[in-house]
């Protein structure tokens, strides 16, 4: 078991205070958007044995377990994050495995560099993700029924939006959503900017259900994504509630602090609310044009006290434990790799010998059977496959622990 040293990603949309408050550190004044925990090559976590991606690369079966390597290959199949949105993220969708493989092959054949700003497919993997709120958390997830979207747009009383209202009423569901999103993204930019400005003024005046879109327009003035966002369900998660985002589902995170876990991929198609590249034809190929309930998830309790967020993917399994001080330790030993993240209070993790390097000495950052890690809020540890680990509350109050592992 290794204590992780993690990298903060300073994206412009990040909160300047949320992650420092959780970590108990002073804000720097700069945005701190995401704290990455894992072996992603863009920002691998550090361990006492070296960068986690290198540690896994040297002995994948020892670190991940034979079943995980057979199912997902010789790399950690998930990335765990703290995500702190102080401003809206881009409106986006992710491909399924087949779409990702086809798109990646086409861009490779076209000779598009993997780091090119107009590259859509950095790898061949899908990118399902789960976001679990630590504070009240606002987001957009999946299409509203066309009639509801039409009612929202009509309420703005903007003449240039009336053709979209008519389209939403006149077509079958899939055609209506497809035609309206296509028209919004393909419209003349100057004309659409004028429409967005007028719609934003109306949203500001009306407030209530329109308030999120007025906020979007303040962050992204004139962006057609402001109108596209009105086609989607607005969701406010309370702490402990979660959303699962599958392939083809348009979504955006707007505000709040959360734990996020995803398959290890960088494949993103953007719809708007961004200065980055928007590939409209490819986006329209990937989006699932169907209305859906956002499906707020609440954890399901197990007999051992672990609360599990049920999702339809094998690359990751996220659960939560609230560990009372003085209570019996909970055994979390697993056949696959694990990352343990404390988000409140303090948690102790006790390990016994596992697949670590021969002769590895226990101590404050790694265990050899007698060692113990104490994790404060925002701190995390990597547990190799098969290593026995037990966790318990530490200190005077309850400790909250999120556990990320694989299903295989």
Residues near 148 by beta carbon (within 8 Å), at least 6 away in sequence:
none
Q: How far is CA 75 from CA 37, 38, 68, 183, 332, in A?
A: 14, 10, 9, 41, 21
Query: 278: which 2 tokens?
Result: 């928007």
Q: How far is CA 130 from CA 7, 248, 299, 357, in A?
A: 20, 14, 12, 33
Residue pair 160/195 in contact (Cβ under 8 Å)? The answer is yes
Alpha-carbon span 52 to 125, nearest angstrom = 20
Task: Judge whether 388 counts as a catalytic residue.
Answer: no
Q: Which residue among 270, 317, 320, 403 is the active-site one? A: 270
Q: Give the pairing type, strands 346-351 and 317-323.
A: unpaired
- CB count, 10 Å around CB of 234? 18
Alpha-carbon span 374 to 109, nearest angstrom = 49
CA dihedral of residues 193, 196, 200, 206 (deg, nearest 10):
150
- Residues identified as active-site: 270
């Amino acid at each position: 078991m290794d204590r992780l040293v993690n990298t903060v990603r300073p994206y412009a949309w990040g909160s300047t205070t949320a992650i420092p408050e959780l970590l108990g550190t002073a804000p720097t004044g700069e945005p701190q958007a995401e704290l990455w925990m894992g072996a992603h090559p863009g920002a691998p976590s550090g361990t006492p044995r070296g960068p986690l991606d290198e540690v896994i690369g040297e002995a994948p079966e020892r670190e991940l377990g034979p079943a995980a390597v057979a199912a997902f290959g010789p790399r950690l199949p998930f990335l765990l994050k703290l995500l702190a949105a102080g401003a809206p993220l881009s409106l986006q969708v992710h491909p399924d495995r087949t779409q990702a493989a086809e798109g990646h092959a086409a861009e490779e054949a076209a000779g598009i560099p993997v780091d090119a700003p107009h590259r859509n497919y950095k790898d061949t993997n899908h990118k399902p993700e789960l976001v679990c709120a630590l504070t009240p958390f606002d987001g957009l997830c999946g299409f509203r029924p066309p009639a509801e979207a039409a009612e929202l747009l009509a309420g703005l009383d903007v003449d240039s939006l009336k053709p979209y209202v008519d389209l939403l009423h006149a077509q079958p569901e899939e055609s209506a959503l497809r035609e309206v999103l296509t028209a919004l993204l393909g419209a003349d930019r100057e004309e659409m900017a004028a429409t967005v400005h007028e719609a934003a003024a109306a949203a500001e005046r009306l407030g209530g259900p329109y308030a999120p879109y007025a906020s979007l327009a303040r962050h992204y003035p004139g962006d057609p994504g402001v109108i596209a966002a009105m086609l989607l369900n607005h969701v406010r998660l309370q702490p402990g509630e979660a959303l699962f985002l599958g392939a083809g589902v348009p979504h955006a995170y707007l505000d709040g602090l959360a734990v996020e876990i995803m398959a290890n991929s960088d494949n993103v198609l953007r719809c708007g609310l961004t200065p980055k590249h928007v590939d409209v034809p490819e986006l329209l190929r990937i989006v699932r044009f169907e209305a859906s309930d956002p499906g707020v998830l609440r954890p399901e309790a197990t007999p051992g006290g672990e609360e599990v967020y049920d999702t339809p993917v094998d690359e990751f399994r996220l659960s939560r434990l609230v560990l009372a001080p003085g209570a019996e330790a909970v055994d979390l030993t697993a056949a696959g790799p694990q990352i343990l993240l404390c988000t409140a209070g303090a948690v102790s993790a006790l390990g016994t010998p596992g697949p670590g390097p021969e002769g590895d000495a226990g101590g404050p950052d790694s265990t050899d059977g007698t060692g113990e890690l104490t994790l404060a809020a925002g701190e995390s540890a990597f547990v190799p496959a098969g290593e026995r680990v037990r966790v318990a509350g530490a200190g005077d109050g309850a400790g909250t622990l999120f556990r990320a592992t694989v299903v295989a």
